[in-house]
Amino acid sequence: MERGSSLEFQGCSRVADMGGIVKVRVIPKAAKNKVEKFDDGLKVRLTAPAAEGKANKALIKILAAHFGVKKSQIKIISGKKSRNKLVKI
């Protein structure tokens, strides 16, 4: 998993620094976990399937590691049953 030190959103070097909301496109059942810049948000590839909330749990874990914050600081605001989500960090 790559750490996004060069990601820029709304003029800030890191979303976590400003406690922002990020648009996330989730790709479940991918070959490996990966966070990529995508349009005006992130594309997150997850090895976890989109069943029983497994992908959402994996998303929170991966975003927490990517942004260097605790898992409790990541919250899915909308799109819990969709591939397109809004996530608060």
In a domain, 7, yes or no: no
In a domain, 38, yes or no: yes
46 occurs within a structural domain: yes
Which domain range does residue 41 map to? Answer: 15-88
CATH of the domain at 64: 3.30.1200.10
Element of type H or E holding 83: none
Q: How far apart are CA 30 and CA 49, in angstroms?
A: 9
Please indicate, yes or no, if residue 4 is contained in any of the structural domains: no
Considering the domain boundaries, does residue 6 fall inside one?
no
Give pLDDT tens digits along the chain (89 positions).
Answer: 444 433 444 333 355 555 789 999 999 999 999 999 988 899 999 999 999 999 999 999 999 999 999 999 999 999 999 999 999 99
Residue 9 resides in a domain: no
Domain count, the chain: 1
